[in-house]
Chain A
Amino acid sequence: MKILVVDDFSTMRRIIKNLLRELGFTNTQEADDGSTALPMLQSGKFDFVVTDWNMPGMQGLDLLKAMRADDALKHIPVLMVTAESKRDQIIEAAQAGVNGYVVKPFTAVTLEEKINKIFERLAA
């Protein structure tokens, strides 16, 4: 399982990477915004994306939309982990095809739950 973690704050990338490692996911890579993430996704075989929303350059929502519009990437599940908590934003992310949405501040348990739920759904 190869996972791409996209967040502009390196602290948050490290936290998420460490939590993922605790959950048994050791093959992770990092990108600091959507425009860095997109070429990585296109060239590497990633199975899962965890992304922030609010980033300079290309935002998480635009990354999600770009992935869903790309035949090679549209199947990759995306979990959004973000401080953006307006209802309209969550609805827009859902409409754009997000697979899970975690609001910051979050707990390790929440992250695990959402990841498990996404894979359960994909397996079903």
Chain B
Amino acid sequence: MGELAQSMKDERLELARALVSSLEAGRESDAAETFASLRAIHDDALREQTGVTGSELHDRIRRFLEDSHLADIAAGDMPDAAERLRHVIRMTDDAASTTLSVVEGVMPLAGVLQKDSGQLADCWERFRARDLDVHDFRQLSMKLGAFLRDTEANAGELNDQLSRVLLAQEYQDITGQILQQVIELVRDVEGKLEHLMDLAGARPSRYEEQSEDALDTHAQGPIVPGVDRVDSVAGQDEVDDLLSSLGL
């Protein structure tokens, strides 16, 4: 411990003892004076560390908290962000369910195709080996006709179902945009917390107040139900109504 620090400690101890004895003796004004001296020493120590006094620091932090809207973020933006993330979970869940249902639905079609074509191939080989009588050949001909019609229908069904899987991947774009919004909020809060730490320490601040961009008609990403309360359309029908009212 340095000489200066030791003498500061001695001084504080002395003042603390004086404070206790003043309080015990009921000398309120002496006690208040001693307390003020103690506080001044504390402020000096703080000023040595941070370049500001305790009350200045308190003021700066209070002002920063007001300017940075951290309270608003904690009360509004953070719960909103949680709801946005829940919406992402719901969308990914829906997309996964749709995809799985389609796969489960079309796999039997592939099974039928495999079984029927296998049976026909066996028959066809017997035909090529001249191993079929007229009755068997008639059977083969009928089976082949039915198989071709079924395959045509099943391929159409397969195509429709695969289109559903295709469209279900749309979630990736929308959830990506929503996650981007949350990442921006996290970045913003990170910057503000760093600045708060800078205020208490000697580190120069890298924080810059972000301009509150006028949001009017700039791109804002997807509307999340229950979070975004702006004048938005609820679906394609409302878009169509709005456009037709504009003559489009």
Contact = CB atoms under 8 A, between A and B. Distances in A.
Interface of A: 7, 9, 11-12, 14-15, 18-19, 22, 52-55, 59-61, 83-92, 94, 98-108, 110
Lowest 4 CB-CB distances: which A-B pairs, in order?
Answer: A54-B219, A83-B222, A9-B173, A12-B173
B217 A108 contact: no
A94 B169 contact: no
Interface string B216-240: 1101111100000011110110010
B167 interface: yes
B101 interface: no
A11 B173 contact: yes
A85 B246 contact: no
Given A18-B166, A87-B231, A107-B167, A102 B239 contact: yes
B89 to A, nearest CB: 16
Interface residues of B, number: 29
A88 B172 CA distance: 26
Given A12-B170, A54-B221, A90-B243, 15 more contacts: A9-B172, A11-B172, A12-B172, A19-B167, A22-B163, A55-B219, A84-B221, A86-B217, A86-B231, A87-B231, A100-B248, A102-B239, A103-B233, A103-B236, A104-B222
B235 A103 contact: yes
Contact of A53 (B167, B171, B176, B219): B219
A94 B172 contact: no
B22 interface: no
Contacts of A86: 217, 220, 223, 230-233
Given A94-B243, A101-B239, A108-B163, A87 B221 contact: no
Given A9-B176, A84-B219, A92-B217, A106 B236 contact: yes
Nearest to A59: B219
30 contacts: A11-B169, A11-B170, A11-B173, A15-B166, A15-B167, A18-B163, A19-B163, A19-B166, A55-B219, A61-B217, A61-B219, A83-B174, A83-B221, A84-B221, A88-B217, A88-B231, A89-B217, A90-B239, A91-B242, A91-B246, A92-B217, A94-B248, A100-B243, A103-B233, A104-B174, A104-B222, A105-B171, A106-B170, A106-B236, A108-B163
